């Protein structure tokens, strides 16, 4: 188990991932940030 975790961490420790423009390419507009999404959808997570 420990060996598997160490292998996983080693594989994941190669710096930051490259950010692709997949969302913009697919939907034709820039992706929103999580902050923007949270503001737009905050009402869905509050009591009525």
14 SS3 class: coil
Q: How far is CA 19 from CA 16, 22, 23, 24, in A?
A: 9, 9, 11, 12
pLDDT recorded at residue 48: 66
**34 falls within a domain:** yes
pLDDT recorded at residue 46: 87
**33 falls within a domain:** yes
**5 falls within a domain:** no
Is residue 9 within 8 A of residue 3, CB to CB? The reply is no
pTM for the model: 0.47
pLDDT recorded at residue 19: 82
Q: Which of 13-17, 18-22, 33-37 has the lowest mean pLDDT?
A: 13-17
**37 falls within a domain:** yes
Our count of domains for the chain comes to: 1
Is residue 20 within 8 A of residue 28, CB to CB? The reply is no
Domain residues for 23?
Answer: 18-48
Q: Is the pLDDT of residue 44 over 70?
A: yes
């Amino acid at each position: 188990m420990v060996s598997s975790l160490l292998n996983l961490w080693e594989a994941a420790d190669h710096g930051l991932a490259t950010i692709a423009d997949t969302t913009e390419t697919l939907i034709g507009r820039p992706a929103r940030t999580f902050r923007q999404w949270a503001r737009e959808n905050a009402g869905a997570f509050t009591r009525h």
